[in-house]
Amino acid sequence: MSSKDGIELPAPTAWPMIAALGVMLTFAGLVTMAAVSLVGAVLALAGAIGWALEVYPHPREERVPLAAPELRAKPVRPAPEAVEHLRIGEAGHRVRLPVEIHPYSSGVMGGLAGAVAMAAVAIVYGLLTYGSPWVPINLLASTISPPMMQASVETLSGFHGGSFLLATIIHALLSMLAGLVYAAVLPMLPGRSMLWGGVVAPVLWSGVAWLALGIVSPTLDASVSWPWFLASQLAYGLACGAVVARSERVKTMQLWPLALRAGVESPGLRDDREDRA
């Protein structure tokens, strides 16, 4: 209820805070002691009853005086001017990031190219260090294969069909996933794409692998040669980055009208979509 000189509002009360405190203590007692839960339950019940009595059978209210007319906020006047949106390239602003990306297909192809380059370096490492190309393959399979986790060097040096298939699947999936990340992220990075994709990214994730590999796969951590590991990652980054960087960029759909992104055909929109493609 309101008038020119005041307005009726619910009267202030502390019962909601008491009820909330009681609920908190009730649950706190589950990890401390039963007495805390007992006190909390009593407070919660008392707070709920007191809160209910504030509004039933008649709500408690108090009149709050209104400020003088000259002290009140002025009415908001609508502005008929339209909002001016930034355009791509205006004042160096790109509106949305990224405006263009490399095709996802280039990320998949780049990931596969990087996978081949990485595998070649790993096989050379296996031949020079252990005299067998199967050691790095079996070491990769040991990340999720229990028999290979405890295998000896002699066992790792032999060919195992299951481990070969498992390592191939892991290697291909991770390589293609990293390639998709390259296709999406490289356009957002300043400077040369090959520097970021071929050097910076491999060095960063090699450092992460050095920190986490002892937990993920102790067998692989005990057998891996980190200089060779870094060399294989650099080979992947350079091969994948080269394929992705050379692909033609495509515009993202972020700047399309909502109707086009939803696939709605409407007069006047087809030409816009063809121009943006």
Domain ranges of the chain: 6-64, 100-246
- pLDDT surpasses 60 at 270: no
Query: Quick check: 272 pLDDT over 50?
Result: no
- Bigger pLDDT: 220 vs 7: 7
Average pLDDT over all residues of the chain: 81
Structure tokens at 65: 């005086």
The angle, 0 to 180 degrees and rounded to 10, between the axes of the packed helices 15-28 and 34-55 is 160
- What is the spatial distance between Cα 209 and Cα 144, in angstroms, rounded to a whole number? 16
pLDDT (tens digit, 9 = 90+) per residue, 196-205? 888 888 888 8
Total residues found in the chain within this entry: 277
Instruction: Give the Cβ contact number of residue 203 at 10 Å.
Output: 13
How do residues 94-149 score in pLDDT, each as one tens digit? 555 667 778 888 889 999 999 999 999 999 988 998 898 988 888 888 778 877 77
Give burial (CB, 10 Å; 0-12/13-18/19+) of 232: buried
**Residue 203 or 215, more confident:** 203
Quickly list H helices, the chain.
15-28, 34-55, 104-130, 134-141, 146-149, 153-156, 161-185, 193-195, 201-216, 218-223, 226-246, 258-261, 270-276
Q: Which of 117, 108, 174 has its CA nearest to residue 140?
A: 174
Q: What percent of the chain has pLDDT above 90?
A: 19
- Tens digits of residue pLDDT in 65-82: 887 777 878 888 887 777
Pairing between β-strand 100-101 and β-strand 250-251 as defined by DSSP bridges: antiparallel
- Residue 166 confidence (pLDDT) above 70: yes
Task: Check residue 265 and give its pLDDT.
Answer: 57
Give the pLDDT mean for 1-17. 78
- DSSP conformation letters of 249-270: PEE-GGGS-HHHHTT---TTTH
6-64 in CATH: which number? Answer: 1.10.287.70
| Residues contacting residue 194 through CB under 8 Å, at least 6 positions apart | 238, 241, 242, 245
- Pairing between β-strand 6-10 and β-strand 61-65 as defined by DSSP bridges: antiparallel
The rounded distance, in Å, linking the Cα atoms of 35 and 63 is 42
Is the pLDDT score of 219 beyond 70? no
Nearest Cα residue to 114 out of 232, 200, 225, 196: 232
